Chains A and B, each alone.
Chain A
Amino acid sequence: MVVLNFTLTPEAAAKVHDLLVCLGKFSDAVAIEARRDRFTFTALNSSKSAYAALTLDGKQFFISYECIPSHGGPDGRFTCSMYTKALLSVFKGRLYDPLGRDGAIDRCEVSVQDRPDQAECRFIVKMVCNQGVIKTYKLTYEAVEVMHALFDKNVAKNRWSMHSSAMKEYIEYFGTKTEMLDIFAGEDGRAVFKSYTEKISNGKEILKHPLVTAVAVNTSDFEDFNVQPGLHIIISVKDFKAIVIHADTLKTNLKAYYSQPTRPLQFNYGCDGFLCEFTLMTSGDYAGLTPTPAPQISSRSDSRAQSTTSERTENRGKRPEMPPPAEPASRRTARRRNPGSRRAKSPKQGDPDPESLFVGREEEDRSWDPVDYNNEEETLGWDASADHEAAIFPTFRDSGSLSRTETEDNNEAVAPTQRVSQIKGLW
């Protein structure tokens, strides 16, 4: 039996919406881990190449937060998993609206119903709206063990930090449909972000090859840039975009930590009791690199032990640990060709801010595009699929059988009077 109750301000609920949108780009389901002092959303993508942990601080992020796990004492936790879409349909957009328009809430109360004397276990979200309307959502959840990716910051000597809005400008240059992102620390005081696709195509197919985009940024434009010159590190560009877009909703600095290709990379950012950590698989060629890797590899087991202990001292407690597996050398090239970002759902790229009040230049230009007539939504006309019997014989509706015979008669009246076979000679 667990006690978990918390209350969110509209702003915080809107942040939950944003983080769910972001996690939805990684996985169909999010895992929830509630502890006495904090609440964490985690997601692991299907190829297990990207792991996200977004932690909300019990004291800072919530109006009130109470979590008493059923067992485990001070280190205990309550874990479950839910569909991202289900949560998103509760934590909709526009929860926070200073003008109090449609969809805006006053506060959001969440509790978990998980007691032996109750027939159902439910994750209950109450949206207290303006004018005293309360919307209650009861969501089912699946009890799961939550796993965490371990990341050892001590080994990650390469670091940089940049404001998310600058980074967002850069990702907007990237072409659609590209797969990889190469982050390269040049020796000329520039860092290069290159989005590309490693696909070999011939002949006519060449023209379908996605755009290769390289953005060269002065390292002085970073808040902080401390990376071994000449180092290339390659991640999935979709993951990167998802992270940057989310970081930009918080308007914070995005920080990257990594050691060398094939070892995990971590992005983190956060503010006001909200910490986001993304641990990503990397690839890239480190054969041509200068010495540093070797000692790091040898010290790996030590450093991991170190990280584990430090985790424990942080009161994270015992849990199944899942360090990203070291990639076997034999598979390295194969993986590079096949980045682990094959998800059914791809992020919608380049979507203009749906909440913007202004018609962007983009939008205006779009009105010149040819109309997509297959788009049913805009079609002018009557709903031909509507039940005609309902409209014509509204009073007969209750006696279903009667109305049916009526329509059958109707159909007979307009049925063809001649069989097609009889007039075949005509054409």
Chain B
Amino acid sequence: MRFKASIQNITTFTKLTASLNSLGPLAWVKLSDEQVCFTIIPEQGTQVWAVLSIDTIFETYTVQSAANNVINLEVPLTSLNRALKSALNATSAQIRLTKKDNLPLLALTIATTSSSNSYAAFPTTGANNEDGLNTLDASFGGGSRETIVTQEVPVRVLGPDTVAGLHEPQCREPDVHIILPPLMQLKSISDRFTKLALLGARSGTTASRTRLEVAANMHGCLRMSIKTDAMSISSVWTDLNNPELDPGQVAGGDIGIAEHPSTRMKQLGSADGRSEEGWATVRIDGRDWGKVMSVGRLGGRVIACFCHEHALILYVYLPNDNGDDESVLTRLAWRFFHLPISSYYDLHTNF
């Protein structure tokens, strides 16, 4: 079993691990020839299924194993994030799977140059300047000024049968899909709402869970509200974008689109958000929502898919550096079920 890669985009990788860490302490990381998957399945709350193309974060990537060159790891995200943070100013960073005292670990090898050289009154300053003239040599030859930091993150190797039973949840076609407003805006409003709901909960009039009601229609409106016995508050965003469905991506092509729930929803409601019709609504726990919003630090575009009274799925797309075509970088699925948990896997709908 071999895994070795150099980290190409340390900032993205660090932010990704930070946002995943908000949702759970451990991630299942699946490394294969084509992609890297980060999955979080907490006991309750939001599941995340993130798929990244290899070159998003890695370069010179090798993965080898007896099981079709797939390696499954369980990784503590706090440690991984902490380790990656020390690479933020690095000149290069490598990651590899290794063993020490028979315990598997991910070792990060980070080469840094001191961020401030003013205090370093070495007698070799002259030599340093020569290096500066010959930068290529210095970067390839691993210049002697570098400080090497190694971070060892303990991991657990998961057997193929351990992960065989884990599947991305299936869900029916969404009623409404909409591009969310900037997440920082959304987060600060929903955090306030959650606080208010908690105050209501403390006085004992509502259940201890803080239910935010999130709704959207096919006319560019998003509504976030809380209701308690004493109050009802809501914020409405208008003029958001409902992206068009691509016939190539929907089952049944043009006919599939004509029959798609969102097409029906387009007939209902209005663009000013005043109509009571045409909303697809889900109720979510405010604290869970706050954790999900943590993904905003990646700065991606987020499309929310609402299955009325059933589930909310967020797709996070990261801006692609080298082209206008956005790749599905991270796919976050947020789910909320009104159904009893036991019927979780009984939902057979195409998506």
Residues of A in contact with B (beta carbons under 8 Å apart): 163, 165-166, 169-170, 172-173, 175-176, 190, 204, 206-218, 220-221, 223, 365, 367-371, 373, 378-381
- Quick one: given A213-B150, A216-B150, A371-B191, are A206 and B156 in contact (CB under 8 Å)? yes
| A190 CA / B147 CA spacing, docked (Å) | 9
A305 to chain B, nearest CB (A): 39
Residues of chain B contacted by A212 (CB below 8 angstroms): 105, 151-152
Q: Does B68 contact A (CB under 8 A)?
A: no
Asked if A370 and B290 make an inter-chain contact with CB atoms under 8 angstroms apart, the answer reads: yes
Q: Does A381 lie within 8 Å of B199, measured CB to CB?
A: yes
B120 in contact with A365 (CB, 8 Å): no
Contact between chains at A217 and B120 (CB < 8 Å): no
Instruction: Give the complex CA separation of A378 and B196 in angstroms.
Output: 12
The 20 sampled A-B contact pairs (Cβ below 8 Å) are A166-B114, A175-B79, A175-B82, A207-B74, A207-B76, A207-B155, A207-B156, A209-B154, A213-B151, A214-B150, A218-B146, A220-B124, A221-B114, A221-B120, A221-B147, A365-B18, A365-B297, A368-B19, A379-B195, A380-B196
User: A217, B83: Cβ atoms under 8 Å?
Assistant: no
| Chain B contact residues, CB within 8 Å of chain A | 15, 18-19, 22, 26, 74-76, 79, 82-83, 86, 103, 105, 114-116, 119-122, 124, 144-156, 184, 187, 191-192, 194-196, 198-199, 287, 290-291, 293-294, 296-297
Name A165's closest neighbour in chain B (CB-CB): B119
Query: What is the predominant secondary structure among interface residues of chain A facing chain B?
Result: mixed
Measured between alpha carbons, how far is A321 from B187 in the docked complex, in Å? Answer: 61
- Chain A residues with Cβ under 8 A from B122's Cβ? 220-221
Contacts of B194 in A (CB 8 A): 371, 373
Given contacts A207-B154, A221-B120, contact A173 B149 (CB under 8 A): yes
A371 contact set on B, CB distance < 8 A: 191, 194-195, 290
Distance between B147 CB and nearest chain A CB, rounded to angstroms: 5
Residues on B with C-beta less than 8 A from A221 are 114, 120, 122, 145, 147
Residues in B neighbouring A211, C-beta threshold 8 A:
79, 82-83, 151-153
- Point out the residues of chain A lying under 8 angstroms from B121, CB to CB: 223
- Are A216 and B187 in contact, with the CB atoms below 8 A? no
Q: A211-B82, A379-B199 are in contact. List 5 more A-B contacts (CB 8 A).
A: A208-B76, A213-B152, A216-B149, A221-B147, A370-B290
Cα distance A211–B116 when bound, in Å?
26
Alpha-carbon distance A165/B86, docked complex (angstroms): 16
Q: Which of B75, B154, B184 has the most CB of A within 10 A?
A: B154
A208 to B76, CA, bound (A): 7
Q: Could you tell me the distance between the alpha carbons of A370 and B199 in the complex, rounded to whole angstroms? A: 18
* A368 pairs with B198, CB closer than 8 A: no
Q: Which of B120, B144, B150 contacts A166 (CB 8 A)?
A: B120
The answer to whether B26 and A207 have CB atoms under 8 Å apart is yes
CB distance from B126 to the nearest CB of A (A): 13
Instruction: Tell me which residues across on chain B come within 8 A of A218, comparing CB atoms.
Output: 144-147
Complexed CA–CA distance, A163 and B118 (Å): 11
Q: Which 8 A-B pairs have the closest CB atoms?
A: A368-B297, A212-B152, A216-B148, A370-B290, A173-B86, A163-B119, A370-B291, A207-B76
Q: Point out the residues of chain A lying under 8 angstroms from B294, CB to CB.
A: 368-370
Complexed CA–CA distance, A212 and B79 (Å): 9
Q: How far is the CB of A196 from chain B (nearest CB, A)?
A: 8
A216 to B75, CA, bound (A): 25
Identity of the chain B residue whose Cβ is nearest the Cβ of A367 in the assembled complex: B184
Contact between chains at B147 and A370 (CB < 8 Å): no
Q: Are A206 and B103 in contact, with the CB atoms below 8 A?
A: yes
CA distance A371 to B184 in the complex (A): 13
Answer whether A373 and B198 are a contact pair too, CB < 8 Å, given A173-B86, A221-B122, A365-B297. yes
CB distance from A349 to the nearest CB of B (A): 11
Say yes or no: A215 contacts B144, CB within 8 Å.
no
Of the listed residues B15, B120, B155, B287, the one surrounded by the most CB atoms of chain A closer than 10 A to its CB is B120
Chain A positions within 8 Å of B79 at CB level: 175, 210-211
B120 to chain A: which residues have CB within 8 Å?
A: 163, 166, 221
**Cβ contacts under 8 Å, B196 to chain A:** 380
Shortest beta-carbon distance from A383 to chain B in Å: 12
Contact call B119/A370, Cβ cutoff below 8 A: no
Residues of A within 8 A of B291 (CB): 370
Residue of A nearest to B19 (CB): A368
Q: Which residue of A lies closest to B18 (CB)?
A: A365
Nearest B-chain residue to A163, judged by Cβ: B119
Residue of B nearest to A175 (CB): B82
Q: Measured between C-beta atoms, what is the minimum distance from A370 to chain B in Å?
A: 4
CA gap between A166 and B75 in the complex, in Å? 31
Which residue of B26, B74, B76, B293 is within 8 Å of A368 (Cβ)?
B293
Q: Are B145 and A369 in contact (CB under 8 A)?
A: no
CB distance from A415 to the nearest CB of B (A): 16
Q: Which residues of A contact B187 (CB under 8 A)?
A: 368
Within the assembled complex, what's the spacing in Å between the Cα atoms of A213 and B110?
11
Cα A165 to Cα B149 with chains together (Å):
17
Contact present for B151 and A173 (CB under 8 Å): yes
* Residues in A whose Cβ lies below 8 Å from that of B195: 371, 373, 378-380
Contacts of B191 in A (CB 8 A): 371
